[in-house]
Chain A
């Protein structure tokens, strides 16, 4: 992720160039195109003074146009507007950009089919995605934790089975990359498991020419000098830590189990150790009870010197939900959409003005294309629990009955859990198929659908249909405001 990149200026020749492969919207036919139509997945964002941006939810492309061009683009792209003629009223250059962005399509193009094709392709990608829970134990007692209080850590036998599972998988499936997330419990309650299993998996991948990288999702409190020394051997290049506010707020929400230590001080010390050794992402879980304190964290991060463009440090607010039966948090404390919008845009503005990577970043609400609704529906995505059970969704890892198999033998093809995940169809819901936000959302979280969480599904719809366009507008307008010069325009 990085600060917004501008397209390098290029001289517009206007003359045809040799054809070569490009996006599906323009590659298909060799015959002249007679008619065009607008994409149903466009979002148009005025930024003031007549200028504006066009974003396409299927391709994820976003272009910023000056007033005359944006006016014409609106004329072409808005419902009720005039579709462009074959010759585009002489504005073929503008049309070329809109076609490349996916905002204009050949009249016969089936956009839903393109989204379906993208989904089918993403299900069978060349990456093996593993989430490993080395232990369910945790030294924190967070009020919203979705993982039940249970003990158990990966045994040496399960370690060996997990390594064998990966070896078999890599031998049987063409794989370019293994990406692993260490999750918990608190994974650093079992550093020896991480150490041994990391070394085995790295060796397996090295021997097969498969790239390996890992992310550690930790509360940060147990990060010591030894942890820092081991990050390279573990090939952990990204660490995610959660901090929920100032000391009082954090310790109310995320106390050290038994109150033995200050959880706030321990997390901040852990962050100090980690900074500079990996990409570091701080997640700030927000609800109505900590909005003000969460906002104050930017000042803390700045005072520590972490908010510099080269620090590889990001912090973002995330909403709390009652994700699972284990969660003790009450949804009556949930943020309203307007509260989430306010804190997100406040952070976006604060970070962007400091020169941090925030504009056009998914972490801060800029829309992302969604190849699948979740990694869990992919053909090559698994969660491994301390007991050696396989799951697809880590939110189900608390329930052994939801396992899709065991790591020693793989997934059970006759399991109804496997049937659910392998057969999951984000296009089954007619309302989703017809929704203009479909490519950004793909129906939301399959776990919530499986559990008939209509309340969370409705929240999801509200976010993608109403809030996401506002967040997109906030990004584009802030970009236009901050640049406020003609230097970024392609001449």
Chain B
């Protein structure tokens, strides 16, 4: 496979977490989601590539 990879990152690792039960919105407890920007993604992908190149 020689073509260029085309990818959309829809969600970064660790970007959305729920500290409450029942899958967040399904349950009784107050929802507490938070999301971070995808800034870490580029660094993570480059690091993975670096590892593969070893």
Which listed residue, A122, A370, A374, touches B29 by the CB 8 Å rule? A374
| Cβ B7 vs Cβ A61 within 8 A | no
What is the chain A residue whose CB lies nearest that of B19? A375
Please name the residue on chain A nearest to B2 by beta carbon: A90
Within 8 A of A (CB), among B36-54: 37-38, 40-54
- CB-contacts of A116-170 with B (<8 A): 122, 129, 131, 146
Contact B24 A27 (CB under 8 A): no
B7-A65 in contact (CB<8A):
yes
Q: Are A20 and B43 in contact (CB under 8 A)?
A: yes
Q: Which residues of B lie under 8 Å from residue A370 when comparing CB positions?
A: 17-18, 23
| Closest residue of B by beta carbon distance from A56 | B13
Contact B30 A131 (CB under 8 A): yes
Which A residue sits closest to B39, measured CB to CB? A8
Which residues of A have CB within 8 Å of B19? 122, 129, 371-372, 374-375, 378
Q: Are B47 and A64 in contact (CB under 8 A)?
A: no
Interface residues of B: mostly helix, strand, loop or mixed? Answer: loop
Closest to A27 in B: B47
Given the complex, which residues of B lie within 8 Å of A338, measured CB to CB? none
Bound CA span A464–B20, Å: 15
Residue of B nearest to A90 (CB): B1
Say yes or no: A101 contacts B13, CB within 8 Å: yes
Q: Would you give 22 A-B contacts (Cβ < 8 Å), ordered by A?
A: A5-B37, A6-B10, A7-B7, A7-B42, A10-B42, A16-B54, A22-B47, A26-B44, A33-B52, A60-B13, A61-B11, A62-B10, A179-B32, A217-B30, A318-B27, A363-B24, A363-B31, A368-B17, A444-B22, A460-B23, A464-B23, A479-B10
Residues of A within 8 A of B (CB): 1-2, 4-8, 10, 12, 14-20, 22-23, 26-27, 32-33, 53, 55-56, 59-66, 68-69, 72, 88-97, 99-102, 122, 129, 131, 146, 179, 181, 183, 215, 217, 240, 281, 316, 318-319, 321, 323, 360-366, 368-375, 378, 394-395, 440-441, 444-447, 460, 463-464, 468, 476, 479, 488-491
Q: Which residues in B have some Cβ–Cβ distance to A below 8 Å?
A: 1-33, 35, 37-38, 40-54
